[in-house]
Amino acid sequence: MYLHLKKLFPETENLDILKHQQVTKLDLLNALNFLVDEIKTSKKEEQPKKWLKSSEVKSLLRISPGTLQNLRINGTLTYTKIGGIIFYSYEEILKVMEQNKVKATSNE
């Protein structure tokens, strides 16, 4: 939180000075706008992981462990196994989702 205060008030090296100052509505609006911008920026910078563990894939696709195992067994999802841990490529999951897209049919 103090890092945000330093960005809002860069001229203030000693944060104790801020304790004795009144906060105006304009100060609150500026702080709120700053925090909203920080959140937007951090969301844009988030990149998905290249490799996901089974638990992450189950959560992402909202599927059961059995369904994930079936996707592995029938070759729908490729995977890499290192020791006892199974990893899935995020890009591969996106490709499979695109390849299995079903177009809506018209009910006329």
pLDDT at 1: 45
How far is the C-alpha of 93 from the C-alpha of 87, rounded, in Å?
A: 11
pLDDT averaged per 10 residues in sequence order, the chain, 108 residues: 56 65 81 83 72 95 95 96 96 93 74
pLDDT at 85: 95
How far is the C-alpha of 58 from the C-alpha of 64, rounded, in Å?
A: 6
How far is the C-alpha of 56 from the C-alpha of 86, rounded, in Å?
A: 11
Of the candidates 73, 71, 43, the one whose C-alpha atom is nearest the C-alpha of residue 58 is 71
Q: Across the strands, what pairs with 81?
A: 86
Of the candidates 79, 73, 82, 74, the one whose C-alpha atom is nearest the C-alpha of residue 93 is 79
pLDDT at 22: 80
pLDDT at 55: 95
